[in-house]
Structure 1
Amino acid sequence: MMIKLWLFLLLLFLPIFGKAQKATGNNESDSLTRQKSSTTNISEVVIQAAPRSVKLNDGNLTVAVSGNKDFKTSTHLLDVLRKTPGVTIDQEEGIFIGGRVTPAIFIDGKPIVMSNQELQAYLRSLSPEMVESLEVNTNPSSKYDAEFKGIIDIKLKKNTDLGWKGNYNGNLYAYKFNSRENTLNLTYNTEKVAYSFQGGYNDGISFYQYNALQRLANTNVMRTRTYQEDQVNVYNIQAGADFRLNDKNRLRLNLRGSSREIDRMRLGSLYTTDKSETQLVFNTGNENPMHYSQNNYGITTDYSFQNKGFKINFLGNYLSVKNKQKDDFINRDKTSSEVLSYWKSDLVNKIDIYTGQIDASQKIGEAEVEAGLKYSQSNTNNNIRYDTLSVNNQFAFDPDRSNLFSYKEKILAGYLAYKQKFGKLQINAGLRLENTNSVSDAVTLDSIVSRNYLEWLPSFSANYTFNKSNELSLSYSRKITRPVFSQLNPFRYYFSPLNYSIGNPYLQPSFTSQIKATYRYKNWITSFTIGKEKDVMARYPIYNPKTNVLEYLGANLPYRNFAVLETSFPVKITKWWNMTSQISGYYNYEFRPYLDQVFTLGIYNYEIRVNQVFTLPKGYTVNLFANYESKTGNSLYIIKPRYSIDLSIQKSWLDNKLNTKIGYNNIFDTYDQQLEFRHKQIMDNQFRHWWDNSRFYFSLSYSFGGSKYQAKESQRTEEENRAR
C-alpha cells in the first residue's frame, strides 16, 4: 500500500519536481549548464499558458469538450465529467457538483426527464466528439426549478449539413468479467426538417463486495461478507425530428424507450466468534438470487417562437417507468446446511411523471425581462409482497414485511427574472414561487401524510468583467429539496439478513441558502461557496443489541453549515505536455441529535485531481489522470482516504473518421470506500464497499455518411449563441 501511495505522489507532483529542478539548476557550474543545453531535459522547459478551453458564463464554468485535448482519450460523457473541474463521479456513477449536490442534467438548455438508470445509459452513449461544451452551474437562479441545487448543461454539436451522417461507438471493458457498450447514431437533414435516431445495446457482468466487522453488545465479534454479481442487458432507442417551420417558429419532437434486465446473485455470510476470536458462536450463509426489469418510455415536445427581442418557448415531458423485482432470501447454517429462514419478495413499482412549462422573455434595450410558469405531476405506486416459509414447508403471506405505498406530488411554479448590463457589470435578479401539494399513503400502515405549502425563493447575481483576463461573479440563491420516493417509502431494503434500510413517510423538505463567489484570472478559475441547510435529510443507524439487527432510518436534522472552495488551472508545460490541476476543499458542520445525545462536529476534507495530457508523434495522445480524496465523513462516521490512477491512449485513423482508445481505469484497484463508526460506546462497527471499477477498456468510434450543403440556421436560442 505504501509503495502505491508513493507512486501516486510521484505521478501527481512530477511537473512540480521538474520546475524545482529548473530553479536549482541556476546554482550549478557554467560548464554543467552548457553541457545540459545541448540536450532535451524537462527541467529546461518554460511554463506557458495553455490554450483557453474554459470560460465563465454568468459566473458558471463552461468547458469545451469536442477538440479538447483533456478529453481526447475519454470513452463517453461520464468519463468526460470525471475530469471536469467541480464535478465528481462516484464509484456507482452518481454525479455530484459543489461537494455532494446531485445536479439536474440539461441538454441544450432544456431539462431532460429520465430515470437515473436511463440517464446513465444516455450519458454513456455520448462520445466526446458529439458534445460541444459543458456548463457547470452550482448556484442556479430562480429561473430554474427550486429543487435544482446544481445544473450541468450539455451543449451537443449541431449538424447543419444537408444529407445523412452516422456514427458508431463501441466500448469493451475487461476485468474479472467483460461488458460491452454499443451505440449507433444517425442524422438526416433536409432544408426544413432534421431527423435523428439513436439505438444502443449494452451487456455484461459487474460485481461488488461488502465486508463488515462489528463487535456486538455481548462482546462477540461478527464478520459480514457479501459478494454480488449482476448480469445486465440494456436496450435503448430514441428518435427525434426538428421542424424549422419558418424563420420564427420551430418545433421539436422526441420519442424514446429503454429496457433493462438484471439477473443478480448475492452470496453472503455472518461469521461470529467470542471476543477472543477463538470460539465459533455461529456461522450462517445467505443466498439472494434476484431478477429485476425496468421499462421506460418518454415523450418530449419543444416549441419555440422568436421575433426580434421577444421569445416564447413551451416544453412538455412525459416519462413512464415500470420496475419489477423478484427476490429469494435463503439463510442456512453453514455447518449443517440447515435452512434457518426463507422468504420471497415480489415488487412492482410504477412511476408516471408529467411536466409542462412555458417561458417568455423580452429585450428592452440593455435589459431583459423573463417570466415563466411550470406544472409538474408525479405519481408513484409501490407494491411489495413478502412470503415466508413456514414450519410446514409452505410459503405464507408475511404482513410484517409486505408494503403497499403510493406517493402523489403536484408542483405549480412561476418566476419573474430581470437582467441588465451596465457597461462591464451585469445584474441578474429573480423571484420564484412554488406551491407543492403531496400525498403519501402507506396503505399497509394505514398512514396518510398530506402536505400543501407555498414557498418564495429569491436569487441574485452580479458579474463584473474587468478585462479579458479578469472576471468576478457573486450570486445568492434559496433552494428547496423535497424527499424522493425511496426516502419516503417505509419498506425494507436488505443488505444482509441483519442489515437493512427503511424509508420515513414523515420526512420534511429541506431548505438551502447559499452565497457563491467566482473569480477568473485567464485560465485560472476559483470559486468559494458558503451556506446553510435547514431540516437536512439524513440516514442514521439504529442497533438492536438483543437481535443484533442494524437498521438505517431516515430523519431531518435541524441544520448544517457548509463551505466549498474550488480552484482549477491548466498549464502548458511543453508543446507536447499539458496539465490541468483541480483542488477542492470542503467544510461541513452538522447539528445532529442522535439517540439521547447531540453530536456537533466540523469536518474538513479536500480532493486533488491532476489530468496530464501528452501529445506524441504520429497522432497519439496519452492521458494520465490521478485523483486523491482525503479522510472525510460526518458526525457519525469516518470515511478513510482513497485514490485512483487512470492511464489511456488515443489515436485517430482514416482522416479522423476512425477513433480508437485503450486504457486502464483505477490501475491499482484503490478506489474502495471504507467507513468506521465514530462512537464506540454506542456501536463498534466498520465496513468496506468495493466495486469493480479497476478495468481495462478498448473503445472504437467510426463516423460515416456525407453531405454537400449546409442548411440555413434560421433560429438560434440564447444557449446556442453562447456555445458558439
Structure 2
Amino acid sequence: MMTRLRIFILLLFLSFFAKSQETDSLQLKDSINTISEVVLQAAPRNIKLNEGNIVVSVSGNKDFKASINILEVLKKTPGVTVDQEDGIFIGGRITPAIFIDGKPVVMSSQELQSYLRSLSPEMVESLEVNSNPSSKYDAEFKGIIDIRLKRNGNLGWKGSYNGNVSVNKFNYRENTLNLSYNTGKIAYTMQLGYNNGISTYRYNALQRLANTNVMRTTTYQKDNAEILNIQAGFDYRINDKNRLGLNVRRNFRKHDRNRSGTLYTSNHDESQVVFNTGSENPIDYTQDNYGVATDYSYQNKNFRLNFLGNHLSVENKQKDDFINRDLPDSQLLSYWKSDLLNKINIYTAQLDAAQKWGNANLEAGIKFSNSHTNNNIKYDTLSVNDGFVFDPTRSNRFSYKEKVFAGYLAYSQKFQKLQINAGLRFENTKSISEAITADSVVSRNYLEWLPSFSAHYVFNKSNELSLSYSRKITRPNFSQLNPFRYYFSPLNYWIGNPYLQPSLTSQVKATYRYKNWVTSLMIGKEKDVMTRYPIYNPETNVLEYLGANLPYRKFATLEVSFPIKITQWWNANAQVNGYYNYEFRPYLNEVFALKIYNYEVRLNQVFTLPEGYTINLFANYESRTGNSLYIIQPRYSVDLSVQKSWLDNALNTKISFNNMFDTYNQQLEFRHKQIMDNRFIHWWDNRKLIFSLSYNFGSSKYQTKEIQRTEEENRTR
C-alpha cells in the first residue's frame, strides 16, 4: 500500500517539479530531450466562462484525446466528479441534470450512463458546468452539465459505430450504432444499442455486537446484464420560422443477479464460533420502458416560442429468493421469496417564450407535470409444513401521485462589460402517497417561490468575475418515499419513508478566471436535508437504514483548476478542490454536529508522441471525509490510456487501464462507538482494461438535437 501511495505522489508532483542537474563538465543537452523547467504559460483557450459557468472544449482538446468516452472526459473536467458506479456529481455531492445542446435528455440514470459511454470525445464540441442554475430551470436542477455536440448541416446520410470491451474477472461489451439522414427539410435519426456482460460487487462488514460478540458479514454479487435499446425520430424544418421534432424510444434490460454471503459470528476475542450462516439471494430483474417526446419552436426576429411535451412509462419486475443455511451442516434456517411489480407513468408539458429588445431580454414559461407510481411487493415465507405462506410483515403496496405546476419570469440585460440576470420561479406541488398495506395516506399541497440573481463582469480578455444566487427545492424521489425493505444481507436492509419533506437550498457562488486559471467558491445552507440513518437492534442484531429529514446543513466548496505546460509534448492540468460540511443531526436523543473538512487533488497528464500516439495519465486523490455519523477513509486511483487514429481519422482506437492499483473502493466507519461499532467496505470491479473502437462513415456530418429529459424522470431511479 505504501509503495502504491509513493508511486501516486511521485506522479502527482512530477509535473510541478521537473528539472535537470548539470555539472560544469557536462554539455547542455538539447532542450527537446531535457526538461529544464516547468513553464506556466497561457495555453489555447480550452477553458472559458459563460456567465460564471466553466465551458470546456472537448473535440480537438489534447487533454481528452485518449479518453474512452464522455464519462471519462467528465471525470477530468474541473468541478465534476464521477464515482465508482459512474454516478456524476458537481459542487461536492450534487447530482446534476444532463443536457444535450441546451435541452435535458429523457433517459433513466442507467440509460444515461450507457448513452454517455457511447459518445466519444470527437463527437462533442464542448461541456458547460453550471453549479448554480437560475430560476428559469426546474427547481430540482441544483446543477446542470450541458453537452454540446459537433454539428454540420451537410445533406445526405452518416453513421458511426462505437464499441467498448471492458475486461476484469469477467467481460462487459457495449455496442452503439448511430444513423442519420438529412434531406434539408427533414433530418431522420436512429440509434441502436446492445450491451451485455457481467459485473461484480463485494461488501464486507465488521461489527462488534452489544453482547461483545464479533460479526463479520461478506456479500458477493455477480450481475449478468443484457440491455437493448432503440431510438428513432425526426426534426422537421417547416420553414425559417417553424420547426417540429418527434422522438420515440424503447429500452429493455434484463439482469440475472446472484448474491451470496455469510454471517460469521464469534466471541469477543474471536476464539470461538457462535454461529456461521450462509445466504443465497438469486434475483431476476427486468425493466421495460418507452418514451415519447415532441417539441415545437417558432422564431420571428427577436421573438421565440418553444413547446416541449414528454411521456415516460416504466415497468420494473423483480423476483428474489432469500435462502439462509447453517453452514457447518447446511441445515435450512429460513427461506422467503419476494415478487415486485413497479409501474411509473409521467406526463409533462412546457411552454417558453422570449422577447429581446436591444441588449435586454425577457423570458417567461409555464410547466405542468403529472406523475403516478404504483409499487406492489409481496413476500412469502416457507412455513414448518414446507409450504410458502404470505408474509404481511414484509409485504407492501404503495401508490404515489404528484402534480407540479410551475412558472417563471426572467430578465437579463447587458451594460457594456456587465451582464445582469434576475429571475423568479414558483412551483406548486400536490402529492398523495398511500401505503395501502399499512392503511396510511399522506397528502400535501405546498407552494414555493424561488428567486435567482447573477452578475458577470469582464475586465479584459484575461480577467472576468461572476456572482450568483439561487434558491432550490428538492422533492424526495419515489424510492426514498416507498416504505419497502431493500436487503443488503439477511440482517441489513433499508426502508423508504413516505413522510419525508422536500428540502430547500439557498446558495451563493463566485467565480473568477485569470487566463486559463479558474477559481470558484460556493457557500450555502440546506433545510430539511433528506438522509438515511442506521438503527441497530441489539436483541436481533438487525441493522436497518431509515429515511429522515435533518433540520439543516451548511456547506462550502472551493475549486481551483489551472494548466501546466512542461514541454511541447508534455502537458498537464491540475485541480484542487476543498469541501466543508456542517450537519445538525439529531440522532437517538442526542445531537451530533460536526464540521467536516476534506479535499481532492487531480492531475491529468497528456504525452503527445511521434507516429500520432497520445498517452494520458490521470491521478485522483480524495482525503478522509464523512458526515456526522460516519468516517469515509481516503482513497485514490490512477488511470492510463493510449490513443491512435487511423484511416485519415475515420477509425479511432484506444486502450485504457482504469484504477490500475485497485484502490478506489469505499471504506466507512461509524464514529460513535458507544452507540455502535461498525465498519464496512464497498468494492466495485472498476479496475478494468478497456479496448475501444469507433468508426465514422457516410458523407454527412449532420446531427439533430437529442430527446429531452424532465425533472420527474430524474427521480424515477
Q: Structure 2 length normalisation: TM-score?
A: 0.97
2: CA distance, partners of 1:659 / 1:566: 33
SS in 1 for 2:3: helix
Are the aligned partners of 2:398 and 2:482 in contact in 1 as well (CA < 8 Å)? yes
SS in 2 for 1:392: coil
For residue 147 of structure 1, the aligned residue among 140, 147, 150 is 140
Aligned to 2:211: 218
Aligned to 2:162: 169
Matched, 1:3 2:7: no
For residue 668 of structure 1, the aligned residue among 661, 664, 669 is 661
Deviations 1:243-284 (A, max 9, x none): 111111111111111111000000100000000100110000
For residue 564 of structure 1, the aligned residue among 544, 557, 578 is 557
Aligned to 2:714: none
Aligned to 2:114: 121
For residue 95 of structure 1, the aligned residue among 80, 85, 88 is 88
Matched, 1:658 2:651: yes
For residue 376 of structure 1, the aligned residue among 360, 369, 372 is 369
1: CA distance, partners of 2:337 / 2:102: 45
For residue 589 of structure 1, the aligned residue among 549, 557, 582 is 582
SS in 2 for 1:278: coil
Task: Spell out the pairing of 1:508-523 with structure 2 (5 A cutoff).
Answer: 508-523=501-516
| Identity %, equivalent residues | 74
2: CA distance, partners of 1:197 / 1:556: 44
Aligned to 1:12: 12
Deviations 1:171-228 (A, max 9, x none): 0111100110000011111111111111010000000000000000000000000011
For residue 71 of structure 2, the aligned residue among 75, 78, 89 is 78
Aligned to 1:332: 325
Match of 1:604, as an amino acid? Y
2: CA distance, partners of 1:239 / 1:616: 41
For residue 544 of structure 1, the aligned residue among 532, 537, 540 is 537
Are the aligned partners of 2:620 and 2:638 in contact in 1 as well (CA < 8 Å)? yes
Aligned to 1:457: 450
Match of 1:473, as an amino acid? S
SS in 1 for 2:240: coil
Deviations 1:458-502 (A, max 9, x none): 000000000011010000000001111111110100000000000
Aligned to 2:713: none
Aligned to 1:686: 679
Task: Spell out the pairing of 1:322-471 with structure 2 (5 A cutoff).
Answer: 322-471=315-464
Are the aligned partners of 2:534 and 2:545 in contact in 1 as well (CA < 8 Å)? yes
Q: Give how far 1:37 is off.
A: 5.5
SS in 1 for 2:664: coil
Q: Give how far 1:335 is off.
A: 0.6
2: CA distance, partners of 1:583 / 1:47: 17
Q: Give how far 1:159 is off.
A: 3.1
Are the aligned partners of 1:535 and 1:557 in contact in 2 as well (CA < 8 Å)? yes
1: CA distance, partners of 2:443 / 2:60: 51
Q: Give how far 1:596 is off.
A: 1.3
- CA distance 1:39–1:542, shift in 2 (3 Å): closer
Aligned to 1:246: 239
SS in 2 for 1:191: coil
Aligned to 2:298: 305
Q: Give how far 1:29 is off.
A: 6.0
Deviations 1:298-353 (A, max 9, x none): 11111111111110101111111110000000000001101100000000101111
Q: Give how far 1:72 is off.
A: 1.2
Aligned to 1:507: 500
Are the aligned partners of 2:508 and 2:524 in contact in 1 as well (CA < 8 Å)? yes
Match of 1:381, as an amino acid? N
For residue 47 of structure 2, the aligned residue among 39, 49, 54 is 54
Which region of structure 1 is more displaced relative to structure 2, 115-124 or 497-506? 115-124
Task: Spell out the pairing of 1:161-240 with structure 2 (5 A cutoff).
Answer: 161-240=154-233
1: CA distance, partners of 2:618 / 2:169: 23
Q: Give how far 1:114 is off.
A: 2.1
Match of 2:598, as an amino acid? N
SS in 1 for 2:16: helix
Match of 2:348, as an amino acid? T
Deviations 1:84-133 (A, max 9, x none): 11111111111111100011111111122322112112212222121111
Matched, 1:637 2:635: no
Higher RCO (C-alpha 8 Å, min separation 6): 2
Aligned to 1:259: 252
- CA distance 1:45–1:214, shift in 2 (3 Å): closer
Are the aligned partners of 1:48 and 1:573 in contact in 2 as well (CA < 8 Å)? no
Are the aligned partners of 1:47 and 1:574 in contact in 2 as well (CA < 8 Å)? no
SS in 1 for 2:566: strand
Q: Give how far 1:571 is off.
A: 2.2
Q: Give how far 1:234 is off.
A: 0.6
RMSD across aligned positions (CA)? 1.4
- Structure 1 spans left out of the alignment, 5+ residues: 714-724
Match of 1:4, as an amino acid? R
Deviations 1:673-723 (A, max 9, x none): 00000000000000000000001010000111125x999x9xxxxxxxxxx
For residue 533 of structure 1, the aligned residue among 526, 532, 543 is 526
Are the aligned partners of 1:115 and 1:321 in contact in 2 as well (CA < 8 Å)? no
1: CA distance, partners of 2:633 / 2:126: 34
Are the aligned partners of 1:524 and 1:570 in contact in 2 as well (CA < 8 Å)? yes
1: CA distance, partners of 2:344 / 2:118: 24
Are the aligned partners of 1:226 and 1:268 in contact in 2 as well (CA < 8 Å)? yes
- CA distance 1:45–1:404, shift in 2 (3 Å): closer
2: CA distance, partners of 1:157 / 1:354: 30
2: CA distance, partners of 1:698 / 1:341: 44
2: CA distance, partners of 1:380 / 1:153: 29
- CA distance 1:38–1:89, shift in 2 (3 Å): closer
Aligned to 1:722: none
Which region of structure 1 is more displaced relative to structure 2, 42-51 or 224-233? 42-51
Are the aligned partners of 2:174 and 2:195 in contact in 1 as well (CA < 8 Å)? yes
SS in 2 for 1:539: strand
User: How many residues are treated as equivalent by the alignment?
Assistant: 704
SS in 2 for 1:35: coil
2: CA distance, partners of 1:197 / 1:222: 53
Match of 1:5, as an amino acid? L
Are the aligned partners of 1:530 and 1:562 in contact in 2 as well (CA < 8 Å)? yes
2: CA distance, partners of 1:314 / 1:45: 52
Q: Give how far 1:46 is off.
A: 3.9
- CA distance 1:469–1:279, shift in 2 (3 Å): same
